[in-house]
Structure 1
Amino acid sequence: MMANRFHIPEFLVTLEMIDDTRRQFDDVVDRAEKWLISGTKLPMHKKLGFTDQYRLEVLKNQCLRNIANANEVAELKKSDSYVHYSSELKDEIIKKLVQLWKK
């Protein structure tokens, strides 16, 4: 039988380190999202890619709200980023397009 690789105290220290790293990562992601929201000149298709990759809900909602017409959706679909979007994000973009058509 193989001996456990960790003793309980070492295991707890490892868990604490993981939690600390996760908090630091979350803090960096939050700051990056705020920077992206604050008006950086990055194109919307790239911002939406980040929203998908890092689950940036506030930024995603802002981007979707800022889509003003069907031409902007068409431009998104032409971008290199669009093929990498999740099906959920693509669905939300299509829902936005339907809302625009109803206006």
Structure 2
Amino acid sequence: MIKKHICFVVMALLGLGGCQTYSTNQTHFIMITKSLGTKQCSGVNADDQLHQLKHELEQANIKVFAAEISTDQMSHIALCGADDGKIAIFKIRQESVISAENMGYKLKIADE
């Protein structure tokens, strides 16, 4: 009877062990930023600028997994023609960071 229980426990543990997956090919993602270059009172659409920057990254064979508009969290003078502080944030693979930096992107700091 005890041998049956031990056999059952061993079979259950072996079965559960097969459910775990181990990936040696883990992908690490990094957030990068770049100013949208938009100005206060201008007719330039920030969404259009975001799509343009995303397109440029993809043309450089950098896959973009997420894209959003945020601000640089700096104070900006309220004046037509002054920078509005809008930035693009992109989620890319870690191995693409050097290429993105060569295109003028910066790593996103955690509190941005």
Question: Do these two structures clear the TM 0.5 threshold for a shared fold by scoring above it?
Answer: no
TM-score, normalisation: structure 1: 0.25
Query: Relative contact order (C-alpha < 8 Å, sep 6+): which is higher?
Result: 2
TM-score, normalisation: structure 2: 0.24
* Larger CA Rg, structure 1 vs 2: 2
Q: Which has the higher helix share?
A: 1
